């Protein structure tokens, strides 16, 4: 197995000030990784380092090919007159020829990607008129059109409706089966169990390994501190992290 993502001793931050240190992990093709951590814990910073937006202050980052990155949706403009199809089509831009209109093959790929996220019928609907969960799915479709071997999804399940959440989660398995490496950040401790590997971040790397080894009470407490509520001490640790949303 080749490493799709390899991070060694990463230190990353803004304006020369590190907000994330001591991160070392690897992810092979065809595997899924859940990145857990509180707000400000460094999840987005890690992703920005992986897509080469933030040069590492120390250590190294290696990604096999340009990853597809789905950032949090709040940053998109909702008053802009583009359709769901227009947005999905943007996924073909990295293939070059940006100065020409999209090709028929690109349009078909975009429609197929919208189909995979259950929004083919909504292809012509204005992006800003979709629900938050549907918009998240359109951005996911855009990433699918990129056809990248590595996908980074930043909190794809935050604030989405249950139907969208289910649809998005079911895609994780499909993408793994296609041999892609998938990194998903979340604050949902329970959903982390469904991934092959878990990386816990709280300004530094707290733990990395399979969920059964990582998701115990001491690790979760070290990850979330006072934001953690432990539901049940019997058997595997069940816990909820309280999320304070920052906008």
Q: Which residues contribute to the site for another protein (CB under 8 A)?
A: 51, 53, 66, 68-71, 75-77, 80-83, 86-87, 90-91, 93-94, 98-99, 101-102, 125-127, 129, 139, 142, 146
CB of 171 to another protein, least distance (A): 18
List all residues 6 or more positions away from 153 whose beta carbon is below 8 Å from its beta carbon: 70, 140, 143, 182, 183, 184, 185
Our CB check for another protein shows the closer of 146 and 223 to be 146
CB of 49 to another protein, least distance (A): 13
Written as one string, the DSSP assignment of 218-235 is: HHHHHHHGGGEEEEE-SS
As a whole number of angstroms, the distance between CA 134 and CA 83 comes to 12
CB of 221 to another protein, least distance (A): 32
Integer CA distances (angstroms), 23 to 180, 203, 207, in order: 22, 9, 9
As a whole number of angstroms, the distance between CA 141 and CA 121 comes to 14
Adjacent-strand bridge partners of 14? 17
CB of 91 to another protein, least distance (A): 7
Our CB check for another protein shows the closer of 75 and 245 to be 75
**H or E, element range at 87:** helix 84-89
**H or E, element range at 110:** helix 104-116
Our CB check for another protein shows the closer of 131 and 170 to be 131
Our CB check for another protein shows the closer of 32 and 146 to be 146
CB of 102 to another protein, least distance (A): 7
Our CB check for another protein shows the closer of 146 and 164 to be 146
CB of 93 to another protein, least distance (A): 5
Our CB check for another protein shows the closer of 82 and 112 to be 82
Adjacent-strand bridge partners of 70? 153
6 is written with which tokens?
């390899």
């Amino acid at each position: 197995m080749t490493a799709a993502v390899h991070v060694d001793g990463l230190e990353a931050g803004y304006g020369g000030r590190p907000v994330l240190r001591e991160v070392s992990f690897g992810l092979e093709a065809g595997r899924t990784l859940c990145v857990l951590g509180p707000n400000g814990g460094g999840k987005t910073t890690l992703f920005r380092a992986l897509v080469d937006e933030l040069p590492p202050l120390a250590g190294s980052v290696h990604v096999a090919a340009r990853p597809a990155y789905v950032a949090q949706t709040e940053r998109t403009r909702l008053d802009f007159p583009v359709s769901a199809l227009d947005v999905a089509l943007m996924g073909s831009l990295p293939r070059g020829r940006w100065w020409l209109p999209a090709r028929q093959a690109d349009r078909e790929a975009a429609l197929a990607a919208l189909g995979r996220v259950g929004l083919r019928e909504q292809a012509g609907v204005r992006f800003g008129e979709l629900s938050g969960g549907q918009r998240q799915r359109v951005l996911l479709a855009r990433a699918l059109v990129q056809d990248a071997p590595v996908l980074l999804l930043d909190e794809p399940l935050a604030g989405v409706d249950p139907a969208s959440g289910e649809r998005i989660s079911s895609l994780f398995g499909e993408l793994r089966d296609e041999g892609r490496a998938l990194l998903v950040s979340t604050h949902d401790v329970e959903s982390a169990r469904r991934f092959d590997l878990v990386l816990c971040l709280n300004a530094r790397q707290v733990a990395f390994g399979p969920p059964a080894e990582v998701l115990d009470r001491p690790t979760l407490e070290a990850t979330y501190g006072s934001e953690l509520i432990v539901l049940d001490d019997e058997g595997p640790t069940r816990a909820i992290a309280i999320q304070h949303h920052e906008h």
